[in-house]
Amino acid sequence: MPELARFYGIVIRMYCEVGEPHNQPHFHAYYQDQTGVFAIRPVRLIAGSMPPPQRRLVETWARLHGDELQRDWELLLSGDRPHPIQPLN
């Protein structure tokens, strides 16, 4: 699963299986032993769990980079590799 960004111990990844149905554009955030799946628009946790402070960081990052996340999703759907996205500093 391609890694898009890494910040404050959080790893952001995105993947999809070309030709397989996906309900909505989303990405996966990993922090320690927890995984959250986040919708891109609007940004929200749709599966899994994440500690509240890390969840807020992920949501803030995703709101700042929504257009880039959407472009990466479209790249994946066309069979291309997504581009890295600037992490939170």
Q: Specify the number of domains making up the chain.
A: 1
Classify residue 26: in a domain, yes or no.
yes
What's the alpha-carbon Rg for the chain, to the nearest Å?
12
Classify residue 88: in a domain, yes or no.
no
Residue-wise pLDDT for 29-38, tens only, equals 999 999 999 9
Classify residue 47: in a domain, yes or no.
yes
**Residue range(s) defining the domain that contains residue 20:** 3-77
- pTM for the model stands at 0.92
Position 71 confidence tier, pLDDT thresholds 50, 70, 90: very high
CA 66, chain centre distance (Å): 10
